[in-house]
A and B are shown apart, each in its own frame.
Chain A
């Protein structure tokens, strides 16, 4: 095994070195221009994709060079167990990626740490490992695609895609990487045999191979749904393509200006003050807020946005360090260290990673702060009640400042916010009528004696996660008392069978996908759990499962199965629905008709 490993390393040594140099030069050049540790999420996503694609190309090429019949035979026809051969080849690929991907990133991190005043935290030292694992997962997917049966092995590429949707962060994200790698290793080990197309006899191995195929079929069927939308668009009946969106629907609420949104709410009200509010809406400034979808998490590998702000007055850049939970400064002109910034005079550690936001505020999950350039100090201005997290950092709303937490809207005194640096106390608290994860917008106007606030809940409506979108209008008076003015249901605009196709195609696979998305992830208060789908969708799902079950009886009858295996597949198709039927069709070729004995001349 070690000989094969060494031989394979020898094969790719030059490639690895060239790729490592290119990677190092590219990263080195970029690190001269920007701080690579403080880039927005999209930069890391693009880099990850490049590494995953590079890994996939290596896997495709390496295994592709062995997959021609004679090469495959020559590789596997030797006194070594097939898994030892596979281990030797993949270990070499993994080492090549370590050199080409991880090493240059680690060298750039060393450069930033030792030769620049930039912040390099523990999380940044994990980046080479994360990039390496991503490249390895791409490599294994490529290797499996090449080694496995051409009809379905490409579905291994779905596993690295999990990283795009995963809710895990930091070390937990490395756990997700390792999970995907472990799964791909199992798939490759199953396929790496003299006849890779031969179905495994081990039921667990069959399940492991079938699962990505089923998820792939599920996604493909879901994506085909967009073809329906295309048809609506071509026929001019798609609600998104209409110049005037359907009345009372999601699109109308999504596109409406703040004033219109409030008027839509008032229209549903029977309050005698409705006419007066309409006039006030026409005359007032409407303050619209869109809640955050993510908050920075400590030791996360990436950043939702660069975690730094500039003090132009003193020519200092303050960069948030996850290790110290404080801002670390350096001169923008002389690049020399300028010390640390915590909260207040004591420079206490921040309770959570802190970002700059508009209106001169810094914020984190628990509080909002202001930086005073004269004193070069950060002061806590707003602290949310224990148990609540920030959903929209402070911004002016008329005379006051509006803040959203995951549970309520808060109004803070605007004048005190501008004139002082003390901790502010809320004037008004308006509880939210729904989960912030479904909240798409908040619109508010200032009344003579309070506020008129509209909460619109439509987030997740077209992905089937929100089944009953609505708008709620409340008035909050000067005393802080909240009065419900109106609540109206919002139409979904598209047929329920369309928006909920991710459920009826296979409720079990949808649950599996949601589980994979949340694998190793901490609870995110800004995310709502999917709502239960209507009974009609469940009936449709049941009908599809029944159809799959019946079709599986017919399809499996034309394939080679043991009796037990055949009925296990039939049951599986009944449970998982159409994607399982697709996997049954792809995994097992039709039974070859047996030849009829013919006389020989010999």
Chain B
């Protein structure tokens, strides 16, 4: 596989199987250098598995994975210096003081950017003499982000970094990320279930479902693919299997609400042909569009 210098992540027919379960299914993914790329997917969609393979912590069952142009299974310490990683647990040594952890990271990363560290940590009331174990969850997240950005990575992977944070802490985290110049210098992979965060930070939306790539586009482009139709249809309305691009249907106050994918004005004709007296179309939020998309194939009991 020829690595393109413009791609920070490149996978080809990447698969990973756990026993009978397929976590990644022939995944072909190319993430270009620069900007913020959001990866979303339901739990079990294969996001964590993808990161573990990309960082060389798990071998693929089949296919290839490259990160910053290197085979992910052959990463050297120098390659790792170019990749920052922040996970949702913000795993840091609880027994050490903030200053000690900072000094340790500073020694290990030759391209340490003190300005970037100060810029991020300034958003939090974190004292150097504080023990990491004494920091609040939000402060830990901010400290972790400051450490990651100060490493001056070419690629920064944020794996659900705001999971479990309260609203204030989430906002502080996002602001410290958005207003950091260091973040501008690297490609950010932002993995989250929080669509308002994605909407705010992401330039590119990648949707994974059951280990397969389902979408890769700007968030607004994806939102544009999903449309919300309200139809006044007497009785049951059309058979669901006959509704094109159907993601979700609800009946509220006698009106049928359809969320559909990739449908244009032809859908109105379909609804009218199905007996609809009034049809209205309206835009949807990214949150609703993604949730409907992901919920479409959600596993359910056979009898449901």
Contacts and interface: CB of A to CB of B under 8 A. Distances in A.
Contact of A195 (B57, B61, B101): B57
B89 A79 contact: no
Interface in A399-442: none
Interface residues of A, number: 29
Interface stretch (A66-74, A145-153, A367-375): A66-74
Contacts of B25: 595, 598
Interface string A1-24: 001100100110000000000000
A244 to B, nearest CB: 57
B109 A73 contact: no
A597 B13 contact: yes
Nearest to A596: B26
Interface in B204-261: 212-216
A541 B15 CA distance: 43
Interface in B37-57: 48, 52, 55-57
A594 to B, nearest CB: 5
Contacts of B96: 7, 10-11
Contact of A602 (B59, B81, B109, B215): B215
Contacts of A77: 55, 57, 80, 83, 85
Contact of A595 (B22, B109, B215): B22
A3 B104 contact: yes
Nearest to A14: B95
Contacts of B58: 195
Contacts of B15: 594-595
Nearest to B61: A592
A479 B101 CA distance: 87
B87 A73 contact: yes
B62 interface: yes
Nearest to B95: A11
B87 A10 contact: no
Contact of A597 (B26, B110, B213): B26
B136 interface: no
A464 B92 CA distance: 55
Contacts of A276: none
Main secondary structure of the interface of A (DSSP, over half): loop
Interface string B69-94: 00000000110110101011101110
A198 interface: yes
B114 interface: no
Interface in B15-34: 15, 17, 22, 25-26
A73 B55 contact: yes
A79 B104 contact: no
Interface string A519-534: 0000000000000000
A137 B110 CA distance: 35
B62 A73 contact: no
A79 B108 contact: yes
B265 interface: no
Nearest to B151: A79
A601 interface: yes
A592 B214 CA distance: 24
B302 interface: no
B77 A598 contact: no
Contacts of B216: 602
A593 interface: yes
A602 B221 CA distance: 13
B108 A195 contact: no
Interface in A114-143: none
B168 interface: no
Contacts of B89: 70-71
Contacts of A10: 95-96, 100
Contacts of B108: 3, 78-80
Contacts of A562: none
A73 B100 contact: no
A71 B81 CA distance: 17
A293 interface: no
Nearest to B13: A597
Nearest to B20: A593
Given A10-B95, A194-B56, A595 B17 contact: yes
B107 interface: yes
Contacts of A235: none
A70 B212 CA distance: 23
Interface centre among B81, B87, B91 (most CB of A within 10 A): B91
B303 interface: no
B30 to A, nearest CB: 13
A72 B25 CA distance: 25
A314 B96 CA distance: 61
Interface in A173-202: 194-195, 198
Contact of A3 (B26, B80, B95, B107): B107
A81 interface: yes
B57 A598 contact: no
B147 to A, nearest CB: 11
Closest 8 CB pairs of A and B: A79-B81, A3-B104, A74-B91, A194-B57, A592-B61, A592-B17, A79-B77, A11-B95
Interface of A: 3-4, 7, 10-11, 69-74, 76-81, 194-195, 198, 592-595, 597-598, 600-602
7 contacts: A79-B80, A194-B57, A592-B17, A593-B17, A597-B13, A600-B214, A602-B215
